[in-house]
Structure 1
């Protein structure tokens, strides 16, 4: 079971904590990860990366959490309810167990030096390489824009800037994000070869559940309306799981290749209960889809109940959330300015 679901929490003091200077942090791996502020985080995020983030933080690693608000515009014409979504992400992070005294939470629009890295990074990759990125292709296919913007093609390079500005060397992601990490490594390697050693080549850390399906049997995604939000009520969770796609075979089994939708609910139950999916399937036996959905609903609601309670508690004091962002933005700016200075020196640019 995740450590994020076994403890109760209380609201922290109203004043935002002061970010610990980088020189005072332990000399361990630096982690960079984050989520676009396009809506509430869901179970795919939680089991895909959030649990890993909290675990790494608790092991003493230097955790940077970027909220890439500029990137909201990659697949839509306008950024709707941006402030609400940014603050909602911070609430989800805190509820899941992210500790702001040990993590740096920031928005990349508030870090100008980070965004300046995009230009030299784009010079290191071809248009063809950007267009071949499978995540870009997927985003284009599901784009909400009247026409695909040029920003869409800069998306992978912008993610590389998010990762490399703080010289992250470990990035927890879902399996579908691996191509972005490969391009980030390519950019880091080409920069170092052309200008001298500045950037590490970050490694990918996959979770035990790198990809959960949505209720329609496709990838769980905020934009596809097939996800179960962490903040969803118990009743909404039950309704969504009741509507999840399964099959007509009464015997429950865990067979991700042959029975992906049924296996997805079995896996979700197992993750929430801290058990093997094969054990869950064997216990359900001939219970059929109705029994599977009832057990999955009970497991999800029980697992998320403490998280949802913590989130509601934090939501009572949004001034604390805003203070956290100010502190995180301040530290991210200090780190980005140092990196940009190194880049300028390596490239021979005037300071």
Structure 2
């Protein structure tokens, strides 16, 4: 089946290993198979904070991360929310297709609200899943590589597409989610790996920074290293991380470490992660900030052409 792939990230900080194994590796593989749009979701930065922060620097850093992992701007359209007004205009008709109760039940929104820096939930946060539906459907996206925590957003998009087609006629495909090899890699503190929680290894981290982060990771007091996700989640998470970087089963890594304890485990994980990140660091050094800005400018132009066509189809279907 010929798919159109839509995926992306909020420019709130550097991408990390959880992003890579959750979605980024899929993007690199899929860019040679299907047309792909990658969104820099700058408008969504203000869903859970009052100010966007160092937005321009974060956008440039995000673009360099994309180029470093191997996304090819000749194959992939990389664009940003604020440059595509026709995409954002889709939010209005889409909001008429969902109920307030349906928005309130979204578990990803509930989690984001719980970790928000705002004292009250704003309307943009509440409508976040419908905005993501506009992101996916403006380009007629049919395949969405996501981590497990983003699955509810894809379900909302499927709901919006079906209801629009039923009410106004067949305009949108109903997209599918695509999960990565490790959809939910926990942070070094045992919680959800997140840019904002300081518990992740950034793809742009130096070898020394990576070593320091892993030295500070949580483990437990048992010397024998075993893989037991239920009873030893922190140790098992480090074994999982090493396994993903080395292409090995975490159980075999645990057997290799044996009675080496947490110190041996962390040494092995540090070596595995740094070896994995070495080619990514090398590619990142081959691009300048000017290169990144040009990639975004070219992508914005292509994405806006697509959005203009889709908005025209929507307006025609609705009778405007």
1:154 matches 2:127: yes
The match for 1:334 among 305, 308, 314 is: 305
- Contact kept? 1:165, 1:339, Cα under 8 Å: yes
CA displacement at 1:180 relative to structure 2: 0.6
CA displacement at 1:236 relative to structure 2: 0.9
CA displacement at 1:168 relative to structure 2: 0.7
2:140 is paired with a residue whose SS is: coil
Match of 2:7 in 1: 33
Match of 1:303 in 2: 276
Structure 1 length-normalised TM: 0.90
Gaps of 5+ in 2: none
Q: Distance in 1 between matches of 2:93 and 2:230?
A: 42
- Deviation digits for residues 171-197 of structure 1, max 9, x if unmatched? 000011111111110011111111111
Match of 1:47 in 2: 21
CA displacement at 1:289 relative to structure 2: 1.1
Q: Distance in 2 between matches of 1:189 and 1:255?
A: 42
Q: Distance in 2 between matches of 1:86 and 1:252?
A: 40
- Deviation digits for residues 30-77 of structure 1, max 9, x if unmatched? 11000000000011001111101001113x211110001000000000
Match of 1:5 in 2: none
- Contact kept? 1:253, 1:281, Cα under 8 Å: yes
Q: Counterparts in 2 of 1:219-230, with a 5 A limit?
A: 219-230=192-203
Mean CA deviation greater in 275-284 or 85-94: 275-284
Match of 2:164 in 1: 191
Match of 1:121 in 2: 94
Match of 1:144 in 2: 117
Structure 2 length-normalised TM: 0.98
Q: Distance in 2 between matches of 1:173 and 1:258?
A: 27
1:239 matches 2:217: no
Q: Distance in 2 between matches of 1:276 and 1:63?
A: 31
Aligned length: 320
- Contact kept? 1:36, 1:72, Cα under 8 Å: yes
The match for 2:60 among 58, 82, 87 is: 87
- Contact kept? 1:168, 1:202, Cα under 8 Å: yes
Gaps of 5+ in 1: 1-26
The match for 2:260 among 268, 272, 287 is: 287
1:287 is paired with a residue whose SS is: helix
Segments of 4+ moved more than 3 angstroms = none
Superposition CA RMSD, Å: 1.0
1:283 is paired with a residue whose SS is: helix
